[in-house]
Amino acid sequence: MPKICLITLGCPKNVVEGESIAGLLRQGGWELTTDLASADTAVVHTCSFISDAKKESEDAIDALCALKKSGALKQIAVTGCLVQKEGRALQKKFREVDVFAGTGSMGGIVSLLSRGRAFELGQPGGLLEPGAPRLLSSALPSAYLRVAEGCGHKCTFCIIPRLRGSYKSRAKESVLAEAEELVACGIKEINLIAQDTTLYGMDLYGKHALPELLGKLAGIRGLKWIRLMYAYPNTITRALTDVIRDEKKICKYIDMPVQHVSGGVLKRMGRAGGVKKIIAGLKENIPGLTLRSTLIAGFPGETEREFNELASYVSEGWFDHLGVFEYSPVAGTASSSYKGRVSAAVAGDRRAELMERQKTVVAARYGALKGKTVEALVEARKGAKTCKARAVFQAPEVDGGMTVRGDCRPGSFVKVKVTGQDGYDLKGEL
């Protein structure tokens, strides 16, 4: 069997898609390997959402091209968002690449590879129903489950609708069937993802169907944690917050990228306002809620007053976990032509200030946990009597974790007494 190495870059949505591509490749007769040196062919599944992601993707392609020139690789394929965004320009830039597949053509990856050289974009989309079992890339009992593809919003800084098309929900039966398969493989934590998870079902059923889906997922035996990622503020319903509050298997956790809290900036972003009211309502209706969010610093036209409003709000401690990005203009978006551009230096300073304020919030919050007992998932051993774990209020990859003293078995759920903190991580003992 020919050997193929798959390199997946970008967000969890790309991870799931990469796992689906891996499933298609295995079904098509390829042998998957993580050892690039032993591979005949390499595939890079790319991201291009922000400039740093585009650079990472291009650097990876460049490195593979060098290997092919040296004779270490026979074939290179590039898939995903960067292909859809750059089109033929990417093909001209990387002439050593044999196969290019846009977001609408990845389902045919096996056929494209068999042709030797190929270039297909297809209609913007994604592998929502790949037609082959996913090949999970982690041995942990935690996995992402994608409920929709594309986006129906018109944020002025975002190119996703152009790369992924309009919003398309999966049928409830399809989502539940995949969840059952994941649990049968030993998965105990499912993290729901989409460009906007809370819009789920509107295109198929004419209503917000996420509350009903969550209730059915909670009925799956063997599933312990269900976590909601990528919620959109203005598509969160009271029915959704009620099911999160009342269902024990659903983590009291919402990842809701708000981008900003100033009404003026949100309007220029093409997003609805009222963010502060929405967050206050969530905290009130779901006691003990952990809220993660992301912000953009230095959006075009962001005044000192608007930034100070955002900074003050961060200091008030509304966000339990927070990521901050400097505004990155993307060609083809409305905001890339906006006047009032904030300099890179100012945007960098604003990002640093927001993160410093959040660090103070986290220090106080984690400090208050000392001596308390929390539930955690053991992810790996760090030594004979130490392990790496993640508390119920910490999502995979993005929220830090815990170092726990005690004889822990990876994949198990344990009770941990918090003994201290180390930056964004906690320390504890069984």
Could you tell me whether strands 225-228 and 250-255 are parallel, antiparallel, or unpaired per DSSP bridges? parallel
In CATH terms, 3-120 corresponds, of 3.60.20.10, 3.40.50.11890, 3.40.50.300, 3.40.50.12160, to: 3.40.50.12160
Q: What is the pTM of this model?
A: 0.93
How far is the C-alpha of 159 from the C-alpha of 201, rounded, in Å? 22
In Å, the largest CA–CA distance within the chain is 62
pLDDT (tens, 9 = 90+) of the chain, 430 residues, equals 789 999 999 889 999 999 999 999 999 999 999 999 999 999 999 998 878 889 999 999 999 999 999 999 999 999 999 999 999 999 999 999 999 999 999 999 999 999 999 999 999 999 888 788 889 987 778 999 999 999 989 999 999 999 999 999 999 999 999 999 999 999 999 999 999 999 999 999 999 999 999 999 999 999 999 999 999 999 999 999 999 999 999 999 999 999 999 999 999 999 999 999 999 999 999 999 999 999 999 999 999 999 999 999 999 999 999 999 999 898 889 999 999 999 999 999 999 999 999 999 999 999 999 999 999 999 998 888 999 999 999 999 899 899 999 988 888 999 999 999 998 999 999 9
User: Are the C-beta atoms of residues 406 and 360 closer than 8 Å to each other?
Assistant: no
Q: Do domains 3-120 and 138-256 have the same CATH topology?
A: no
Domain 373-429 matching CATH 2.40.50.140: the answer reads yes
How far is the C-alpha of 56 from the C-alpha of 50, rounded, in Å? 10
415 Rama class: left (phi>0) / alpha (psi -120 to 50) / beta: beta
CA angle 13/16/19 to nearest 5° reads: 150
CATH number of 138-256: 3.30.750.210
Residue carrying structure tokens 């033929």: 88
| Domain spans, the chain | 3-120, 138-256, 373-429
CA angle 62/67/72 to nearest 5° reads: 160
User: Are the C-beta atoms of residues 164 and 196 closer than 8 Å to each other?
Assistant: no
Read off the DSSP letter of residue 36: G
How far is the C-alpha of 197 from the C-alpha of 231, rounded, in Å? 5
CA angle 199/203/207 to nearest 5° reads: 65
Closest CA to 289 of 320, 330, 267: 320
Hey, what are 159's tokens? 């190119």
How far is the C-alpha of 273 from the C-alpha of 258, rounded, in Å? 10
> Exposure of 379 by Cβ count < 10 A (0-12 exposed, 13-18 middle, 19+ buried)?
buried
**In sequence order, what are the residues at sequence separation of 6 or more whose Cβ sits closer than 8 angstroms to the Cβ of residue 158?**
49, 151, 330, 333
| Cβ contacts of 236-243, under 8 Å, gap ≥ 24 | 236/198, 236/278, 236/282, 237/198, 237/208, 237/211, 238/285, 239/208, 239/211, 240/198, 240/208, 240/210, 240/211, 240/214, 241/281, 241/282, 241/285, 241/286, 242/211, 242/285, 243/211, 243/214, 243/215
